[in-house]
Amino acid sequence: MKRQFGKEGGIIAFHGYQSFAPGEVTPEQAHEIGVELARRLWGDRFQVVVATHLDREHIHNHFVLNSVSFVDGKKYNDCKSTYALMRQTSDQLCREHGLSVIEAPEQGRTMSYDTWEAQQKGKPTWYGQIRRDVDACIAHSFLFEHFLTNLKKQGYAVKTGKYIAVRPPGKERFVRLKTLGDDYTEEAIRERIRAHEPPPRRSAPRTAPKRSYKIQHKPKKLTGFRALYFHYLYLLGKLKRPTASPRRRRYMTDEIIKFDRYVEQGRLLTKYRIDTWEQLSMLEEAIQNELDALCGQRKGLYTARRKNPTGTNLSPAILSINQSIKTLRRELKVCGRIEADGPAIRQKLLEPLPTPPKVKAPQKQRPRKWQR
């Protein structure tokens, strides 16, 4: 056919397959269903070879379709609609023969039979491993850019563009995150990162069951910036501690005025668990990238609302983005203040305490002798 119509180049043939559950069909019945499927889908325009394989636990058919039609010489259009038609026709044939089909398949996602079978039997799959790694990176990320960085640290190759795609270590092809489920689209991941809260840094004391004593959990000691800020706030006398130092507080009146400013900085450091200058720089870069992405998204919503003012109400989405942008800009401003105040706070803690003026103790007077 190709030589007859002068279309010997390009795609030579298309390959499809049809699988059956183990033990449901005989080889003869599977081949009969495969031939009928090929006849209904392509028999009036294309040449098809149907091969039934028995090399696996499940019997399956392979279809090799000539890419050029023997009727008009037009090439076969392989797209999502033709794939959906193949699935619907196959399911219809299986139901006519009383065979099982996969009910309510996940939209927009394809997988091999081996992967599907492993999921049905509860066996681990590499799709499941990707989900677990993505979930872990989301839990330890404070912004979307930080999430991508954490994925790369796990050994994943990451491609960004219209869709986020990752390639696990040791694999040859990329997987789009949106194919993992509704919770793994870029918008859903951004929402999950914004919504999740950092895990608590210390555990409350617990009482062991049926025992009279309590198990005390020693809190993890803070380091880096967080330790610096909490220690400084303690010295300012604003943290309630039984061992507060009034002598230090007496010489820091000017700094006490800035207490609220230091508290805001300390909260930001605690929220994102920042302990080093490198982490602070990474946070600033991630916040700026997130701001740029949100501003671009907001611009698109403004354009859509301007072009179609009577269409879908986009105001709630715009208000939500505006609130996120306001929060991120405030955090970016606090990061700049930390860069300015951090070295000064450290220097103040290194300075020796001023020596209070010595007050001369009154001398004891000797009792006068009585004079006669």
Convert the pLDDT of each residue in 64-82 to its tens digit: 999 899 888 888 888 888 8
pLDDT of amino acid 367: 59
Task: Give the contacts of 125 (CB within 8 A, at least 6 positions apart).
Answer: 115, 118, 119
3-class secondary-structure state, position 163: coil
Mean pLDDT of 32-57: 92
Mean pLDDT of 97-102: 86
Distances (CA, A) of 58 to 102, 133, 306: 15, 31, 56
For strands 60-66 and 157-159, give the pairing: unpaired
Q: Phi/psi of residue 15, each to 5°?
A: -120, 130
Predicted TM-score of the model (pTM):
0.39
Higher pLDDT among residues 91 and 199, named by residue:
91
Of 270-274, 312-316, 319-323, 355-359, the one with minimum mean pLDDT is 355-359
Give the Cα separation of 85 and 238 in Å (integer): 70
Q: At how many degrees (to 10) do helices 224-235 and 259-272 cross?
A: 150
pLDDT of amino acid 233: 67
Q: Which residue matches tokens 């929402």?
A: 191
Candidate ranges 18-32, 201-215, 271-285; pick with highest mean pLDDT: 18-32
For strands 165-167 and 175-176, give the pairing: antiparallel
Q: Phi/psi of residue 176, each to 5°?
A: -75, 135
Give the Cα separation of 95 and 110 in Å (integer): 21
Q: What is the mean pLDDT of the chain?
A: 77
Q: How many CB atoms are located within 10 Å of the residue 295 CB?
A: 12
Higher pLDDT among residues 110 and 304, named by residue:
304
Q: Which residues are 339's β-sheet partners? A: none
